Chain A
Amino acid sequence: MPQYFARSANTIYRLVLFASAGSVVVVACLGYLIVRSPYESMQNVPREQPIPFSHEHHVGGLGIDCRYCHTTVETSAFANVPPTKVCMNCHSQMWATSPTLEPVRESYRSGRSIEWTRVNDLPDFVYFNHSIHVHKGIGCETCHGRVDKMPLTWQAQPLTMEWCLNCHRHPERYVRPRDQVVTMGYKYPPNQLEVGRKLMTEYHIQSLTSCSNCHR
């Protein structure tokens, strides 16, 4: 009986075997990369808003303190988005007829909230608390990036659990003096690890990695 396949078929057969095994690995790796990519995490994607609010202008240009608008950042888990009335503090006088700001005035007149799109959105099973991070000397910039350079706001960090733990395991790398918390473009000293450890003692910073610190 003649052979159906030539000897070379063995090679093809092996190739196919290895390729199919390899493709599983490749697909898995690709999936992993996609999940962690900015495409999935929405990192660095400027988000459209009802009003093209520019942190670059308000923070970078005018130098308004973060806490002028985000008033509850030091007291609450939630750093509030400012009420319309806070916008109107200035904009009843400045750019009071600008068509861009019409949604603000409309909200003020009607009493209906402006619907902002959430930029930094943690999953609902994560309980993040702003006040304690600010209190322990974690800069706004550390998580939110250089908002003073964002014409439209985007998410500056991946906000994955790995990223959170990176700091929770080594707070000394990121902690800064409390009076520098709202500073944009803070320059860490060359001996940051040493300074960080000192600040950790001073501010009673623990490395909190228990599950229930964030998940309840």
Chain B
Amino acid sequence: MNETVQPGFVPIEALTGPRGREYWRSLDDRDAAYTPEENEQFSEEGVAVSEASRRRFLSLMAGSLALAGVTGCTRQPTETILPYVDPPENVIPGKPKYYATAAPVNGVAEGVIVESHLGRPTKVEGNPDHPANLGATSVHSQACLMDLYDPDRSREILKLGVPQTWDAFQIAWEHAIGPLAARNGAGFRILTETIVSPTLGAQIQALLKKYPGAQWHQYDPAGSHSARAASMAAFGKSINTYYNFATADIVLSLDADFLACGRASTRYAHDFAARRRQGDRLDMNRLYVVESTMTATGGKADHRLGLPYSQIEAFAAELASQLSIPGGASGSQYGFWTTRVARDLQAHKGASVVITGEHQSPAVHAYVHAINETLGNVGKTVIYTAPLEEQPVDQIASLRQLVDDMKAGRVEVLLILGGNPVYNAPVDFQFADALNHVKTSIHTGLHFNETALKTTWHLPETHFLEDWGDARAFDGTVSITQPLIAPLYDGSHSQLQLLDALIAFPGRTPYEIVRSYWGANSGAGNFEQWWRKSVHDGMIANSALPAITLAVAKNVVRTAAAAAPNDSSMEISFRPDVYMYDGRFANNMWLQELPHPMTKLTWDNAIYLSPNTAAHLGFENQQHVELQLHGRTVWGSVWILPGQPDSTATVELGWGRWHSGRAGNGAGFNAYAVRTSDALWSANGVQFRKLANPYPLASTQMQQYMEGRQVIIENTVDYYKRNPGFVPKAEHEPEENLTLYPHWDYRGYAWSMNIDLTACVNCQACVVACQAENNIAVVGKEQVLARRAMHWLRIDTYYKGVPGNPTAHYAPIPCMQCENAPCELVCPVQATNHSKDGLNDMIYNRCVGTRYCSNNCPWKVRRFNFLLFQDWTTETWKMQRNPDVSVRSRGVMEKCTYCVQRIREAEITSQDENRFIRDGEVKTACQQACPTQAIVFGDKNNPNNRVSKLKAEKLNYHMFAELNTRPRTSYLAELRNPNPEFEPGAAS
């Protein structure tokens, strides 16, 4: 090192290089085969280079420059103002209003508060009082606005594709049901998804009472089939299980991605992270994950073991035997793990959780019940309640019976309330063919989907933000959902309204139906008061189902021990997609473009293979293959996923829709095409055949690559105890005065952010929240491939360790709001400037699109509108936009603003009220959505603020501090709590 360099200065070279490859984004990256030449700044792929000659280019440029000048001279178009005629009470134009309701997510309700600008719902936030999310939101709650405003929603009543009136439907209904009424309705069937709405349940029962011969079938492709089977076996009845992670010291997940998807994941992630921070992180919980594919939860684990789907049961059986549970199978295949995990669990009786995924086999569920019972967790960390479903049934048997009856001609009128069985029923049921035997079939839904194509009638449904209803949350808490907006389309009816009409036309309004149901069932003395409070709060007070105590039958009946898969007999497992779920969100553009946690795939699903298996099969990443399973085939691309168990493939359900709308059609491949009723979640004997045509996948994993610099700092809790100052600071950060920038004294507010890497679970809720709040455009698959996705906030996934079983590390990267911002210096038109409170402002109307700023940003957080990505024409999407944020056009750079519109709003409100902004008063959209509260935002000039306290912690560090840009966003280094017994050389 040059002797004249000032102390404290560390040259960049010393921090990059081999160290950067310790944490890798892809296998190429790990082997340092990924070169910066491929970086987006130098990438030409996807950039539309025209064949124009130099002369033509110059003449075009001269012309456009002249025109650019002329545009400055245009007069503003004349605008009109349309005031109310008779203004609603309490509506102040320019001030949003907030209403509580509940979003149905993964089959249960999540409490939300919806922001409404002059009657247009524009943003969904979590309801802080609701137990399912405690103020945070899942990706689905955030994205539900895209469903509401989806221009491809079904708008009119159709009979065989021809528009009809409600009256015509009534006549047709009476005509169809008339002959059946004489037979008590025999021949009339209802097919629903899982129903967790008490009022809807009562409505169906009322309809069945009118037609006692009718039958009610239920089918949810991603439902809790195994959990139900296990609880029938263990308790003799259906029950609901949920977990309390807030008091769980040890968590063992047997193939459950409980932090990032599934019922109550928002609450689970919240509790899990809170427990991880306990005692200044010195009293951290421990997470073991045994799983059949790499998930966000697995990446977070202190110890992770990848096992084929079929072997999880063997693992559970061995663990059960270690815990002396009858029915456990002694074995020593996983002895290293099971002995240690069992010891750890036994040392924390009553304070541990063993959880398994909805898709695991009933036997694993049964083992989990037995293990939790043995460990004394039941009633403490594991809560049993009565089922959430209005009528829990074996849904596969229920659908099978319906299909058999349909084929036998015993079904004359079939009412399909929601759902999409033509697309997602097990393929061996041949549901679409069976529909041909039904004389009158009626489908209701938000979309004219695959099932609607095959039924005689289709009735559009209202969105949950358009109508009254109710639903239960994971613990049974009931929310009455209130509408935020009148139905956008006249033809649409809610399921409640339709059923009421079918009982007796014309039927009551949904408001009357819900109100009258609760009028009879609330048990409140003063109903009006009870109703107003329940609607206002977004939930009915104390309506959670009471915990029940049950005797657990510990004799687990094992499925015949499955042989472990090998490369000649490979195993496939199916998962509901993290975002598409069972396929219902396929036309949701925000979710389509949301990068998947571990692969960063957008707009597609893929066949996940382990690096070893892919090498054995001779597949490169993104190889297009034909997947063959027992004579059925489907085409998809391979994605090599670190951490995927060898000889297994995992595919996600919910893709490959052919009639979902403009976003979902043709995105991904349809894994339902090979999913049969006897192998709902896993099957053996999958084979692959190479296809010639390439099928590229749009993954953002290697985009916005930061040159292999050190992003993640992490270590174990034990190490932290011994070396509290392990996060390099003194040698790392240059002195403050080592800069050519003039000094600026930040008086007043100094907005800053802290992100806790220990807490982040990569659920991506922040990314959608940011998109919704800041009017961020969706660009489509081709543009994502060209590295042009527009997300202002991204979560980078890094892997560490061996490709077969790596750990994963997540780094949310917003704009760092550097005090010495490199982007500002290079802007030739002063379109990005520093604000007095330290924000790095971006002024769109000044930007001429040189992209110098993006070039100079070490974090690559600036995103450029290469094309007109915003949809300026579709009317419904205009309604979603946040009026407090500019809608950007082509040729403009944009980036995270720390939600400056919220800061300025709070400043104005506080000054109107003659006070300072309180800590926590300004929440950025990402912070508000974050289930684990990993993101904290506030004024760092006040040492009592939460963000200041976090920044004072020993774990605090600035990413790329050596560059001396003095970022306002800092990170808390990640801590893990591995079991010392797993160390090589520790006593067994």
Contacts and interface: CB of A to CB of B under 8 A. Distances in A.
A and B physically associate: yes
A54 to B, nearest CB: 17
Contact of A216 (B72, B75, B900): B900
B553 interface: no
A72 B92 contact: yes
Interface string A87-130: 00000000000000000000110011111111001011101010
Interface string A171-206: 000000000000000000000000000000000101
Contacts of A78: 93-94
A212 B75 CA distance: 24
A127 B904 contact: yes
B85 A215 contact: no
Task: Select the residue from A34, A81, A107 with max chain B CB neighbours within 10 A.
Answer: A81
A216 B92 CA distance: 21
A116 B93 CA distance: 16
For chain B, what secondary structure do more than half of its interface residues adopt (helix, strand, loop), or is it mixed?
loop
B78 interface: yes
A31 interface: yes
A211 B73 CA distance: 22
A107 B82 CA distance: 11
Given A72-B94, A80-B83, A211 B841 contact: yes
Contact of A123 (B76, B81, B839, B841): B76
A115 B845 contact: no
B2 interface: no
A114 B843 CA distance: 35
Contacts of B837: 210
Interface string B810-853: 00000000000000000000000111110101011100000000
Interface residues of B, number: 41
A29 interface: no
B728 to A, nearest CB: 33
B83 A125 contact: no
A127 B839 contact: no
A56 B143 CA distance: 50
A162 interface: no
A121 B845 contact: no
B746 to A, nearest CB: 12
A131 interface: yes
Interface string B50-70: 000000000000000000010
Task: Select the residue from A125, A136, A208 with max chain B CB neighbours within 10 A.
Answer: A125
B835 A125 contact: no
Interface residues of A, number: 46
Contacts of A125: 844-845, 886
A116 B85 CA distance: 13
Given A76-B95, A121-B76, A210 B911 contact: no
Nearest to B748: A206
Interface string A21-58: 00000000001001100001010000000000000000
Contacts of B7: none
Contacts of A127: 884, 901, 904
B907 to A, nearest CB: 8
Given A72-B94, A117-B80, A212 B85 contact: no
A83 interface: yes
A85 to B, nearest CB: 5
B884 A212 contact: no
A117 B77 CA distance: 11
B408 interface: no
Contact of A135 (B73, B885, B911): B911
Nearest to A111: B85
B525 interface: no
B543 to A, nearest CB: 36
A49 to B, nearest CB: 10
A82 to B, nearest CB: 6
Contacts of B843: 211, 215
Given A75-B912, A115-B81, A215-B841, 6 more contacts: A76-B92, A77-B95, A113-B84, A210-B839, A212-B900, A216-B885
16 contacts: A34-B73, A76-B92, A76-B94, A77-B94, A78-B93, A81-B83, A83-B85, A84-B84, A118-B78, A123-B845, A125-B844, A127-B884, A210-B834, A210-B836, A215-B844, A216-B900
Interface of B: 69, 72-73, 75-76, 78-87, 92-95, 748, 833-837, 839, 841, 843-845, 884-886, 897, 900-901, 904, 908, 911-912, 914
Please provide the 5 A-B residue pairs with the shortest distance between their CB atoms, ordered closest to farther: A78-B94, A210-B835, A76-B94, A113-B82, A211-B841
